[in-house]
Amino acid sequence: MNGLFQGITLVAVLGIFGGIIKFAYEVARDNTRRRGEVYDKLREKFDSDEFEPIYCLLETYAYGSDNEQKEAEKAIRALSVDERQRFGAFIEHVALVAKSGVINYALANYEFGYYTRLCWKCPPFWDDLCDENGQNDPYWAIYREFVDELEPFDRALREKRESFLPKKTLSKIKI
């Protein structure tokens, strides 16, 4: 009888242990799937037509000829405050997702960093969005911190280091 009781106890303990391991595996797998979904939604919004005019204007302002830059500056100033605020808020959303660890900064830089930096370096974009402190406005602090956080990853990318993006980027990030 004692041996039967020990056998049943052993099976029960192994079953509980196996269940805990399976539960942990399923939670990790589900978290990876959810992180992927968050990234996909960010990328879908980023690639939507909503921001395409802003991307073109930012590139022209940064890299166009003098005349093109002047025209881009006028066009950027002509964008409604709402349009500019939506783009800035979207980039801040990406920053919060990165800061929370859902995606890492290397991936955020690779996917969103180019236009994030172009926008930050475009003073006409920030007209009417910032107070008299300009880009030191506390309401855009998350954006400013995001640009600062992306700098080392941008440098590494520009230096063509192969190790700028960690392996299994999405699976190491916790929600």
Mention every residue, 6+ apart, whose C-beta is less than 8 A from residue 60: 68, 69, 71, 72
pLDDT band for position 158 (cuts 50, 70, 90): confident
> Does 171 score more than 60 pLDDT?
no
Q: Among 17-31, 33-47, 69-83, which range has the highest average pLDDT?
A: 69-83
List the one residue out of 57, 132, 131 whose CA is nearest residue 87: 57
Dihedral angle, C-alpha 49, 115, 31, 142, nearest 10 °:
-120
Question: Does the residue 83 lie in any domain?
Answer: yes
Residue-range definition of the domain harbouring residue 96: 2-158
pTM of the shown model: 0.75
pLDDT band for position 175 (cuts 50, 70, 90): very low
Rounded to whole angstroms, the Cα distance separating 81 from 94 reads 20
Question: Does the residue 35 lie in any domain?
Answer: yes
| Percent of the chain surpassing pLDDT 90 | 55
Question: Does the residue 171 lie in any domain?
Answer: no
> Does 167 score more than 80 pLDDT?
no
pLDDT band for position 32 (cuts 50, 70, 90): low
List the one residue out of 108, 107, 173, 175 whose CA is nearest residue 145: 108
Amino acid at 100: S
Question: Does the residue 164 lie in any domain?
Answer: no
Question: Does the residue 113 lie in any domain?
Answer: yes
Amino acid at 164: F
Question: Does the residue 82 lie in any domain?
Answer: yes
Amino acid at 125: F
Q: Give the total number of structural domains in the chain.
A: 1
**pLDDT value of position 6:** 76
Question: Does the residue 17 lie in any domain?
Answer: yes
Better-scored residue on pLDDT, 163 or 32: 32
